[in-house]
Amino acid sequence: MAVGLPEDSLAISAQRLDIMKQMESFAEEKLVLLKAPDKCWQPTDFLPDSTSENWHDEVKALRKTSESLSDELLVVLIGDMITEEALPSYQTLLTATDGFLEGLGTHMSPWGQWARGWTAEENRHGDLLNRYLYLTGRVNMRSVEETVQFLIRNGFDPQVSRDPYKLFIYTSFQERATKISHGNVGRIAEKEGDSMLAKISTTIAADEAKHESAYKLFFGECLKHDPDGAMIAFREMLEGKIAMPSLYMEDGKTENLYDVFSVVAQRLNVYTAMDYADITRHLVEFWDIPNISGLSAKGRDAQEYVCKLAPRYARIAERTQTRIVSKGTPVSFPWIFGRTA
Kindly list the catalytic residues: 41, 84, 122, 125, 175, 178, 207-208, 211
Between 273-286 and 164-191, two packed helices, what is the crossing angle to 10 degrees?
130
Radius of gyration of the chain measured on its C-alpha atoms: 21
Residue 332, beta-bridge partner list: 340
Residue pair 237/248 in contact (Cβ under 8 Å)? The answer is no
260 DSSP β-pair partners: none
Q: For residues 307 and 284, is the Cβ–Cβ distance under 8 A?
A: yes
CA distances from 239 to 233, 259, 305 (A): 10, 21, 9
Helix extents (H) in the chain: 7-22, 24-30, 55-66, 71-85, 87-95, 110-136, 141-154, 164-191, 195-225, 227-239, 257-267, 273-286, 297-327
Phi (first) and psi of residue 339, to 5 degrees: -70, 160
Residues 23 and 245: their CA atoms lie apart, in Å, by 27
The number of C-alpha atoms within 13 Å of 89 and in the hemisphere containing its C-beta is 22
CB 305 within 8 A of CB 248: no
Helix (H, G, I), strand (E, B) or coil at 340: strand
Q: Are 336 and 140 in contact (CB under 8 A)?
A: yes
